[in-house]
Structure 1
């Protein structure tokens, strides 16, 4: 009886992806204990979030690839309708309207689009696989721009950029021409130079977003205000040296110099206490997760599976890159958590839901072989 139950539990699970993910999660609990000044309530919350997210991952892994394809269009339409609902009935907090009150709780519809948009675009290209042309890429770009534009209006630049990245990866894996990618890169670089050189930022972005760009370029311009986060983050990472100051011994952390140290800036805590060597270990763990995801994408049995697995995996990479970049001072501060490590349940749930989809794609290949 117990053996049958165990076989049913492990049937949809990809053991390597689960193992690498659990390594990161265990490390995250260790870091959070120090970053929160040994606050067991936060550690307990983190463990609860982990349990819920792992169960969600397992449930999603049990959904067949065919049913995932059936869910793509309804999930996308629901996500867009909820984003429109935010525009008209949204709850405003800290100057941003990103939440929707549904009676018993508040939800953030942009989180749904992290999964719904890649699902929709992967289904779309799979549906027209036999005769793809440039028109399909135009339609796909429009499907991507609708939710991204609605999220930018909230405003939530960080989430909009991440969701746009997840859509771009689908376009890339579907065969977006290299010349067009190069042209987009040149146009983006030219626009960035023009905006910063001619001081046009204020006409294109909100004032606080312009401030973030200016702070990234010169954090010492306002060291006790807008530049404080980046300055303290880089000091903490630099003071860690090669081997770090040791667990629970980070001075920047425990003297309360690092802001948001359990969420967006937890990487600064990790870098201070475990040093360059610890950062290297964390990067290896992330690379193992990413490598396994790309292996699943490469071996997927359908175009839908390949596109979706590739997008989920590279979006996870983007999360890690953006967070580490903003904490290190090479990217603007955009409020992106360190994936699986930062305190909080919403981000972890969306990431592990994506990993559940990866497991479903991997299981589909095994069923096709059988």
Structure 2
């Protein structure tokens, strides 16, 4: 009988799991999640089950974060090669006999329909962090070449689907690991300079490059049209430029303080397309204005800075590189989404973290946060 009474309570079992959790990071995520729930209720309360589904997805992401946070970084490292290998094999399978929707072949049926490219958002930084951890103290230029090959293989397969938004996120995750591993600035500057020169030339010769009948090599037609629409949305205001124009109108109409919660006319009269997914930032801006935007951006900046601080304090090369890459994924999510809605970047399918509707993206965010929590927790437990 005494053995029964000696069993630890639920509280005593849960407390060790919570010890070491990063409070500032959790607080930033909590505030962003609250902003997401408010915005989703306002923009999606009349869109079927969007709000309850979004709430369910957030709870699921929280559970995933909690579970992943219990896994030490050393054990996470064991999943790097298997997860990357499975992800690449699934991408190859998608290219051969994947499911095509709206002209894109991104899904595959493995009993359930999944989008394998989402796996690489986590598998890519895991794999490259593992690669550089194995070469700690004996780094050679060839190691960076191999890392580049490991990155380009899945990115090329994702671009071929085509899925430019996910390709950008996977590319940023991989390049972040390579950069934090010690890639020389001499190798980074030339492509950056070429990119700036290319952007300036495209803007300067927009009239000729975007003329009817002109086709750009490498890019798909819809990708070319998105860039041309970015340069001049008025070319097709009721067609390809409609998303960008309506997004900018909604942002501008919010003014400094916004129109108020549930009072966004552009949102509720359905002028904003995809108002619960890719363009939810426009709905948020209309109702909460410039002040709300500044608070939201401050929340994301704090999240990114906290993630980078966790990376700096990490106890191993693997943890440092992985935390830095995961943090840059969050930055890219927010920067690209806000940029495309504001009309400064082409429209690509990148959601706004914790704000946009989307189950798969929320699961990925939960895993990323769990990894950051795991790294922070491991460091703190070592210091006690």
Same fold (TM over 0.5): yes
Indicate conservation of the 8 Å contact 1:240/1:272, yes or no. Answer: yes
Tell me the secondary structure at the aligned position of residue 352 of structure 2: coil
Using the TM superposition, give the Cα deviation of residue 12 of structure 1 relative to its aligned residue in structure 2, in angstroms: 5.6
Alignment of 1:67-86 (within 5 A): 67-86=75-94
Q: For residue 227 of structure 2, what is the aligned residue in structure 1?
A: 213
Q: C-alpha displacement at 1:47, in angstroms?
A: 1.1
Alignment of 1:79-118 (within 5 A): 79-103=87-111, 105-118=112-125
Among candidates 49, 71, 85, match of residue 57 of structure 2:
49
3-state SS in 2 of match to 1:99: strand
For 2:333, which of 319, 323, 335 is the aligned residue?
A: 319
Is the 2:257–2:289 Cα contact (8 Å) retained in structure 1?
A: yes
Which residue number in structure 1 is paired with residue 153 of structure 2?
146
Q: Which of 70, 73, 79 does residue 65 from structure 1 map onto? A: 73
Aligned to 1:283: 297
**Deviation of residue 206 (structure 1)?**
0.3
SS at match of 1:97: strand
The alpha carbon displacement at 1:364 in A equals 1.5
Give the direction of change, closer, same or farther, for the CA distance of 1:237–1:227 in structure 2 (3 Å limit).
Answer: same
Corresponding residue number in structure 1 for 2:168: 161
Q: Size of the alignment, in residue pairs? A: 369
Q: CA deviation at 1:5?
A: 3.2
1:273 corresponds to: 287
Corresponding residue number in structure 2 for 1:250: 264
Counterpart CA distance in 1 for 2:26 and 2:150 is 32
From 356, 366, 374, give the equivalent of 1:352. Answer: 366
Shift in CA distance, 352/201, structure 1 to aligned 2, threshold 3 Å = farther
On the 8 A contact 1:13/1:58 being kept in 2, the answer is no
SS at match of 1:130: coil
Distance 1:288-1:40 versus aligned 2 partners, 3 A rule: farther
Please tell me whether the aligned partners of residues 12 and 58 of structure 1 are also in contact (alpha carbons under 8 angstroms).
no
TM-score, normalising length from structure 1?
A: 0.96
SS at match of 2:263: coil
Unpaired runs of 5+ residues, structure 1, are: none
User: Is the contact made by 1:12 and 1:61 (CA closer than 8 Å) also made in structure 2?
Assistant: no
Q: Which runs of 4+ in 1 moved over 3 A?
A: 37-40, 190-201
Structure 1 contact 46–343 (Cα < 8 Å) conserved: yes
Q: 1:15 — aligned with what?
A: 23
Q: 2:236 aligns with which of 222, 230, 243?
A: 222
Structure of higher CA gyration radius? 2
Distance 1:2 1:138 in 2: 50
Q: Alignment RMSD, CA only? A: 1.5
How much does 1:123 deviate?
0.7
| Cα shift at 1:2 | 3.7
- Name the SS of the counterpart of 2:217 in structure 1: helix
Give, in whole Å, the separation in 2 of the partners of 1:184 and 1:16. Answer: 36
Q: Do 2:22 and 2:376's aligned partners in 1 also have CA atoms closer than 8 Å?
A: yes
Match of 1:175 among 172, 182, 205: 182
SS of residue paired to 1:204: coil
Q: In the alignment, which residue of structure 1 is the partner of 2:136?
A: 129
Cα distance in 1, alignment partners of residues 185 and 315 from structure 2:
25
Aligned twin of 2:33 = 25
Whether the aligned pair in 2 keeps the contact of 1:195 and 1:201 (CA below 8 Å) is no
> Could you say if the C-alpha distance between residues 280 and 192 of structure 1 is closer, same or farther in structure 2, counting changes exceeding 3 Å?
closer
Matched, 1:343 2:351: no
- The secondary structure found in structure 2 opposite 1:100 is strand
3-state SS of 2:50 partner: helix
Q: Distance in 2 between matches of 1:168 and 1:142?
A: 11
1:180-239 CA-to-partner distances (Å, cap 9, x unmatched) read: 111110122334455674737622200000000000000001000000000000000000
Matches within 5 A, 1:300-319: 300-319=314-333
- CA deviation string 1:241-266 (max 9, x = no partner): 00000011111111110000000000
Q: Distance in 2 between matches of 1:164 and 1:216?
A: 22
SS of aligned partner of 1:243:
coil
